[in-house]
Amino acid sequence: MQGLSFSELCCLFCCPPCPSRIAAKLAFLPPEPTYSLVANEEVKSKFQLQLNEKAEWPYSERDKDTIESFYTRTSRGNRIACIFVKCCSNARYTLLFSHGNAVDLGQMSSFYLGLGSRINCNIFSYDYSGYGASTGKPSEKNLYADIDAAWHLLRTRYGISPENIILYGQSIGTVPTVDLASRYEVGAVVLHSALMSGMRVAFPNTKRTWFFDVFPSIDKVSKISSPVLVIHGTEDEVIDFSHGMSIYEKCVKSVEPLWIDGAGHNDIELYSQYLDRLKKFVSVELANQPQTQSSKTTTPAVITTTTTTTQQQQQTKSGATSASKPGNSSSSGSNNINTSTVNSRTNEKTQLLDDKTKKQNSNNQQELPPAPPAPTINEKLL
């Protein structure tokens, strides 16, 4: 993203110069609500999701019966809207999905139904304070309180154990996702277009976390003890690709990431590799998690910037960029291994960022299967 002008800097830091106000100016763009929750006449605690014309719904009206809608109260007193999308009757995992900016549950509901049915997961999601039918105002503190309330509701209302919950965060949604994952062990974590911190998005040359910084996910990811899948587009015009790389490097239990060549901030879902990687992560890697975790200590996870198996083979033969992220080693030469690991990551990051400006793979861009279309997310910064 381009640097901010002097007047924008003054507005950002001087009116007034406190992290909560900076966060509000940087990140939050709640759209006009695209839905409402209509109370059930017979059971007052039950609600029906009623979509307006701004929310696309490519399915039948009957499919809306798969969505349960309700409210919960956060520790900060806000009432937030929640939905549970029962996509699969035999789903092992449930995604706790924290969506991106400038969308609400109405716009995301059809996407959830399509995504969950394709990766065999149910999806629980919520609107941030000040979004959709949720009360209050969006803020960093409310983000954390919102996901806490959603987390506890998912566990108590549906009795889902932590090991069967996958925390999924997209864009600004990675902020509460990282925060929760750093405090609770869960089945897995997916970070889609994640940011290191607010200041690092606004000012790309920022090298440290300042006291007035907001959304400092880069300082929390190392505390996540669950497997983490990082997804990022190499041409992300909102949150630079380097954010995804740095987040990946900081994760203790990261799996093979998904770097999609040519993808931006709002079109990752349009690439076939997106669904393929999620299916593999859920159905194969998590299903064999004990073996996967054990092998990670001895076998590096290969990172590639390619988008298809054929391209991977071709680029490997031609010496294209690939690097490994070794785990811990119990061998006597551990010091040497640690040194080579640091050098490998440095070279890997430099090469990938160089390749980012050279590769154009627009022919690889494909839409998701007919239902649902990926939501249009017109985000300002995050």
Q: Give the tens place of pLDDT for each residue, 180-194.
A: 999 999 999 999 999
Residue that wins the pLDDT comparison between 382 and 221: 221
143, part of any domain: yes
pLDDT at residue number 26: 61
**Residue 193 placed within a domain:** yes
Instruction: Give the type of residue at 38.
Output: V
Which pLDDT belongs to residue 328?
35
* Better pLDDT: 374 or 38: 38
**Which range, of 31-40, 140-149, 164-173, 320-329, averages the lowest pLDDT?**
320-329
What pLDDT does residue 274 have?
98
Q: Is the dihedral of CA 56, 61, 65, 71 positive or negative?
A: positive
Whether the predicted pLDDT of 367 surpasses 90: no
The string of pLDDT tens digits covering residues 120-177 is 999 999 999 999 999 999 999 999 999 999 999 999 999 999 999 999 999 999 999 9
Residue 282 predicted with pLDDT over 80: yes
Q: Is the peptide bond between 372 and the residue preceding it cis, with omega within 30 degrees of 0?
A: yes
Residue 177 within a domain: yes
- pLDDT given for residue 27 in this prediction: 72
Share of the chain above pLDDT 90, in %: 60
- Tell me which of 353 and 34 has the higher pLDDT: 34
Which of 29-33, 150-154, 210-214, 303-307 comes out lowest in average pLDDT?
303-307
**Res. 28: pLDDT tops 70:** yes
Q: Is residue 333 part of a domain?
A: yes
Task: Evaluate whether residue 375 is within a structural domain.
Answer: no
What's the mean pLDDT in 51-72?
93
Q: Residues 279, 298: contact at Cβ < 8 Å?
A: no
Tell me which of 148-152, 170-174, 231-235, 353-357 is least confident. Answer: 353-357
- Give the pLDDT confidence score for residue 187 in this predicted structure: 98
Domain CATH number, residue 358: 3.40.50.1820
Question: At a CB cut-off of 8 Å and minimum separation 6, what does 334 contact?
Answer: 328
Q: Classify residue 14: in a domain, yes or no.
A: yes
Q: Tell me how many degrees the CA angle 167-173-175 measures, rounded to the nearest 5.
A: 90
Quick one: pLDDT at residue 19?
54
The confidence score (pLDDT) of residue 166 equals: 99
Range of the structural domain that residue 357 is part of: 6-364
pLDDT at 321: 30
pLDDT over threshold 50, residue 207: yes
Domain presence at residue 116: yes
Residue 19 or residue 281, greater confidence: 281
Average pLDDT of the segment spanning 369-380: 38
The total of structural domains in the chain comes to: 1
Q: Is residue 236 predicted with pLDDT exceeding 70?
A: yes
pLDDT band at 209 (very low <50, low <70, confident <90, very high): confident
Contact 167, 96 (CB under 8 A): yes
Tokens standing for 18?
């406190």
Residue 8, pLDDT above cutoff 60: no
Q: Are 190 and 229 in contact (CB under 8 A)?
A: yes
Q: For residue 25, what pLDDT band results from cuts at 50, 70 and 90? A: low
Confidence at residue 132, expressed as pLDDT on a 0 to 100 scale: 98
Please report the pLDDT score of residue 352 as a whole number: 55
Q: Which of 106, 138, 129, 86 is nearest to 36 (CA)?
A: 106
Q: How many CB atoms lie within 10 A of CB 153?
A: 20
Q: Could you tell me the CA-to-CA distances from 341 to 119, 219, 294, 345, 354 in Å, in that order?
A: 33, 20, 19, 6, 20
Q: Tell me the CA distances in angstroms from 42 to 38, 45, 46, one per residue in order.
A: 12, 9, 9
Task: List active site positions.
Answer: 171, 236, 265
Domain contains 369: no
User: Which residues lie across from 271 on neighbouring strands?
Assistant: 365
Q: Which of 133, 223, 132, 212 is nearest to 177 (CA)?
A: 223
Contact (Cβ atoms closer than 8 angstroms) between residue 176 and residue 215:
no
